[in-house]
A and B are shown apart, each in its own frame.
Chain A
Amino acid sequence: GENVEQHPSTLSVQEGDSAVIKCTYSDSASNYFPWYKQELGKGPQLIIDIRSNVGEKKDQRIAVTLNKTAKHFSLHITETQPEDSAVYFCAASIPGNQFYFGTGTSLTVIP
């Protein structure tokens, strides 16, 4: 089955700096890659996703890039703010199948 690895497990950045989280996957059939933000005691919230026919997608301060050849995708957060502090999960899936989640990255934005 699919195996998703996520790095780093923890990340601290100064407010205003950029944060990058990287994930790799193993199954070349995976073609949907969402990113979730989870705040303490809450459920994950979908923040951005990308499909395999697209190399990059941006939504305001958040962007995701996908390299299908290398089987990796990354989340980029620019101009970080304290409210960006949370745990971020990547996932990979084949539509109609289950999601395979990464192990999570705890992001701390230092004011």
Chain B
Amino acid sequence: GAVVSQHPSWVICKSGTSVKIECRSLDFQATTMFWYRQFPKQSLMLMATSNEGSKATYEQGVEKDKFLINHASLTLSTLTVTSAHPEDSSFYICSASGRAYEQYFGPGTRLTVT
């Protein structure tokens, strides 16, 4: 149990375009979903927290107009990187939390902006 999927697993896009990443909890209802960004050989950096049906809460320094998060249902959250630039290239990971303490992570999405 507690499986979280992400799609796509990797994506290459041109500078200026937008990219949508999906995060799904497959076998449980995720009341809260989290989006992280991870640079090579570094820890996870929380970008935002989203609760189903509510606006996402963004961490300081994260541009909410650039990283659009939608938590449309208890099993789906999406992160859209708008007008992507090469500095947005990174490994993006979502996690989902149900009623218990645990956070279960997706497999991550490697974004490369050329």
Residue of A whose beta carbon sits closest to that of B9:
A41
Q: Which of B80-104 contact A (CB under 8 A)?
A: 93, 95, 101-104
Complex partner residue of A43 from B42, B101, B108, CB under 8 angstroms: B108
CB distance from B31 to the nearest CB of A (A): 10
Structural contact, B6 and A98, CB atoms closer than 8 A:
no
Structural contact, A43 and B103, CB atoms closer than 8 A:
no
Using an 8 Å CB-CB cutoff, how does the interface string of B32-46 with A read, 1 for contact, 0 for none?
A: 001000000111101
Q: Is A44's beta carbon under 8 Å from chain B?
A: yes
Complex partner residue of B49 from A34, A98, A101, CB under 8 angstroms: A98
- Name the interface size band of chain B: 20 to 34
Structural contact, B107 and A98, CB atoms closer than 8 A:
no
Complex partner residue of B107 from A32, A42, A89, CB under 8 angstroms: A42
CB distance from B38 to the nearest CB of A (A): 9
CB-CB under 8 A for A43 and B49, given A98-B34, A101-B44, A104-B43:
no
Q: Which of A19-60 contact B (CB under 8 A)?
A: 32, 34, 36, 41-46, 49, 51
Chain A binding surface, main DSSP class: strand
Structural contact, B105 and A98, CB atoms closer than 8 A:
no
Structural contact, A46 and B101, CB atoms closer than 8 A:
no
Structural contact, B43 and A101, CB atoms closer than 8 A:
yes
Structural contact, A51 and B101, CB atoms closer than 8 A:
yes
A89 to B93 CA separation, bound complex (whole angstroms): 14
Using an 8 Å CB-CB cutoff, how does the interface string of A65-92 with B read, 1 for contact, 0 for none?
A: 0000000000000000000000001000
Residue of A whose beta carbon sits closest to that of B34:
A98
CB distance from B61 to the nearest CB of A (A): 14
Structural contact, A45 and B105, CB atoms closer than 8 A:
yes
CB distance from A86 to the nearest CB of B (A): 13
Residues of A near any B CB (own CB < 8 A): 32, 34, 36, 41-46, 49, 51, 89, 93, 95, 98-99, 101-104, 106
